Amino acid sequence: MRYTQFLIPTLREVPADAEVVSHQLMLRSGMIRKLAAGIYSTLPLGERVMRKTAQIVREEMNRAGALELTLPFVQPAELWHESGRWNAYGKELLRLKDRNEREFCLGPTHEEVITDVARGLISSYKQLPVTLYQLHIKFRDEIRPRFGVMRAREFVMKDAYSFDADEAAAERSYMKMYEAYTNIFARLGLRFRAVEADSGPIGGSFSHEFMVLADTGEDVIVTCTACDYAANTEKAEIRVPDAVEAAADQFGALARVATPDMRTIDEVCSFLKTGPASVIKTLVFDTGEGAVVALVRGDHDINEIKLKNYLACSELALADEDLIEKVTGAPRGFAGPEGLSGVRIIADYGLKGCFNMVAGGNERDMHVVNLNFVRDFNVDAFADIRLAGQGDACPRCGKPLTTTRGIEVGHIFKLGTKYSTSMRAEFLDARGESHPMVMGCYGIGVGRTVAAAIEQSHDGDGIIFPAPIAPFTVLIVLVNPTDAQQHQIAVDLYEKLLGHGVEVLLDDRDERPGIKFKDADLIGIPLRVTVGRNAVKDGLIDIKWRKTGAQAQAALTDAVENVLEALPNL
Ligand code: ATP
Ligand code: MG
């Protein structure tokens, strides 16, 4: 491709509304342009990168035996009513009506549609297992679209769905996708980790997120410093602590202390001159079927997902003022476990063995001190309901956990029979009995993966594309296109490399060399070959590796060979 025939609208300035470096660089290198919040056009340079990424995904899906198809983007509401998600999905689902007032939505995901396809096509166990996938657009009306294509509203996803006859077969399909994902992200040249994710009511570790490691990532990953345990914060478990009981002879006298207008842990701690680890944080939740009180240590944070899973309730939200008042008899900020009745109390493991604690006094402007478990209050259960973090004990080996940041680029999930039951996607087994198919779903965001790759691989000058997804492999910079000899040498080299199947971009623009080199660094093509005065005078060209900055001179006569030799190690 000749630069003069291509379209790479690079920008010198850092766009003001781009917070993260991948977003800045994708705009500056002319890969994308914004149309509206969370909605982007992919320009020719970006398109090449997206396609290469998608192609690697496609190849690995095909290798795992998955079959490509394309499903409609616009989906009828009826299917979503069948699955029960039309109302449950919330505002991310963009609903619309056609001219006949029939309701539709833009597909944020395709479980309903694929289940509908499967129930129409699959009727016998002989047709199973089957995994179907597409590479297509999704629309999610994200509350905070940001970071460019990393969290967009319209984006391309590879979504795959597996159908199996039973649990054991579904687990095999899941493992195949796990392996395919591992191959994909390795081939893309990314540093990543598969982490256990929350799988809601399904349980077990049948949900993994594939996280690209990056400091700017929105997600926190909890990993063990000793073994290979890794999970996202929602899921990360904490080792059940040994049973330690506080000695009653250390208990101080329970007392009530006036704490006017002090509602936060910080306020109470500075007033009572104590630390947050000595406070019991008391949270009232509404489960839709009554209130539940959760207790965590003041220096810990509740993990609502763990609490919800523990309670096995379908809804869970922090209680409103009315419910708090009803349960505790006090306004928000003064709740405590002492004297509560008629409500379930779940305490986090972190409170085991704590004594002489501070908590709300269930009365306006009042706290209690020297509060002790058993003597002063009881709980229904201790459980793991807090966010795991730095220093907590690994659930597998007990060694300390640590946290790092990541970008979720892929997610695999065992669905079980959730959709096949509600939508009656059934098959007949060998004895002629009918069963719902056991399903799994598997997503990769193509744009987010590209952004994550840039987040992980760039420098102050621009993008450093991993070779497998680089828009071109080699960039030839023709320093002075008006010099007929230079021009001829560069075009010769360009054509020879094309003849060897190398993807080459020839910068034949009539621009100052400084601009060409700046753009070269910005768009991050792995290998740069400069054809300048030396080529004419001494028959020499310069080769520069974008990743390492290494440079070499080569004789023009060996140029093709040298470039070809460099390719496998880019
Ligand atoms: P997140 O928690 O980041 O919102 P999610 O759990 O909603 O992600 P999934 O429904 O599992 O995501 O979607 C599968 C994949 O699609 C994600 O791993 C991610 O790569 C991609 N993806 C999801 N939402 C977006 C988005 N708003 N913009 C770009 N890619 C997205
Ligand atoms: Mg989401």
Instruction: Find the 234 Cα to ligand 1 centroid distance in Å.
Output: 15
Distance 146 CA to ligand 2 centre (A): 12
Residue ID of nearest Cα to ligand 1 atom 13: 443
**Nearest ligand 1 atom, CA 409:** 20
In whole angstroms, what is the distance from residue 77 CA to residue 91 CA? 14
Atom 21 of ligand 1, nearest CA residue:
445
Tell me: the pLDDT tens digits for 311-346?
Answer: 998 889 999 999 999 999 999 999 999 999 999 999
pLDDT of res. 247: 80
Residue tagged 């989906």 (tokens): 75
**Looking at ligand 1, which residue's alpha carbon is closest to its atom 22?**
445
Q: How many angstroms does the Cα of residue 308 sit away from the middle of ligand 1?
A: 22
Which part of the chain has CATH 3.40.50.800? 472-569
Q: In this structure, is the dihedral angle defined by the CA atoms of residues 255, 258, 263 and 267, taken in order, positive or negative?
A: negative
For residue 443, the ligand 1 atom closest to its alpha carbon is 14
Q: What pLDDT score was predicted for residue 198?
A: 83
* Centre of ligand 1 from the C-alpha of residue 207, in Å: 14
Q: What is the pLDDT of residue 205?
A: 63
Q: What is the 3-state secondary structure (H, E, C) of 495-556?
A: HHHHHCCCCEEEECCCCCHHHHHHHHHHHCCCEEEEECHHHHHCCEEEEEECCCCCEEEEEH
Distance CA(88)–CA(419), nearest Å, equals 14
Q: What secondary structure letter does DSSP report for 254? A: P
Residues in contact with 164: Cβ distance below 8 Å, sequence separation at least 6, in sequence order: 128, 129, 170, 172, 173, 437, 438, 439, 440
Q: Please identify every stretch of the chain with a pLDDT value under 50, giving residue numbers as ranges.
A: none
From the CA of 194, which ligand is nearest? 1
CATH code assigned to 248-383: 3.90.960.10
Among 112, 134, 157, say which to mutate for ligand 1: greatest number of ligand atoms within 8 Å of CB: 157
Query: 417 C-alpha vs ligand 1 centroid, how far in Å?
Result: 22
Residue position matching structure tokens 């400069």:
530
* CA 142 to centroid of ligand 2, rounded, Å: 7
Architecture label for domain 472-569:
3-Layer(aba) Sandwich (3.40)
What's the pLDDT at 82?
Answer: 97
- Pick from 370, 360, 312: which is nearest to 340 by CA? 360
Say if residues 90 and 137 touch (Cβ distance below 8 Å).
no
Q: From CA 367, how far away is CA 500, in angstroms rounded?
A: 78
Apex 256 CA angle, 252 and 259, nearest 5: 125
> Nearest C-alpha to atom 16 of ligand 1 is from which residue?
445
Q: Mutual orientation of helices 484-499 and 559-566 as an angle, nearest 10°?
A: 50
pLDDT of amino acid 199: 76
Protein residues whose CB sits closer than 6 Å to any atom of ligand 1? 109, 140, 142, 151-152, 155, 157, 408-411, 443-445, 447-448
How many angstroms is it from 138 CA to the middle of ligand 1?
Answer: 10
Select from 234, 448, 449, 455 the residue to mutate for testing ligand 1; criterion: most ligand atoms less than 8 Å from CB. Answer: 448
15-188+415-455 CATH, one of 1.10.3720.10, 3.40.50.2000, 1.25.40.10, 3.30.930.10: 3.30.930.10
Start and end residues for every CATH 3.30.930.10 domain found in the chain: 15-188+415-455
Among all bound ligands, the one having the nearest atom to the CA of 153 is 1
Q: Using omega within 30 degrees of 0 as the cis cutoff, is the peptide bond preceding 129 cis? A: yes
The four Cα atoms 149, 155, 160, 161 give a dihedral, to 10 degrees, of 120
Pair of tokens at residue 547: 């990743």
User: What spacing in Å lies between the alpha carbon of 322 and ligand 2's midpoint?
Assistant: 31
Give, using CA atoms, the residue closest to atom 11 of ligand 1: 411
> What pLDDT score does 126 carry?
98
pLDDT at 204: 60
Protein residue with its CA nearest to atom 1 in ligand 1: 408
Cα 552 to Cα 29, 250, 490, 536, 555: the distances in Å are 26, 74, 17, 17, 10
Which residue has its alpha carbon closest to ligand 1 atom 8?
408
- Of 23, 408, 415, the residue with max ligand 1 atoms within 8 A of its CB, to mutate for a pocket test, comes to 408
DSSP state of 414: E
The span from the CA of 364 to the CA of 346, in Å, is 23
Q: In the chain, which residues fall in CATH 3.90.960.10?
A: 248-383
- pLDDT tens-digit series, residues 120-167: 999 999 999 999 999 999 999 999 999 999 999 999 999 999 999 999
Return the ligand 1 atom nearest residue 209 CA: 18
Q: How far is residue 187's CA from residue 58's CA, in Å, rounded to a whole number?
A: 12
CA distances from 280 to 349, 367, 384, 390, 457 (A): 12, 11, 15, 20, 44
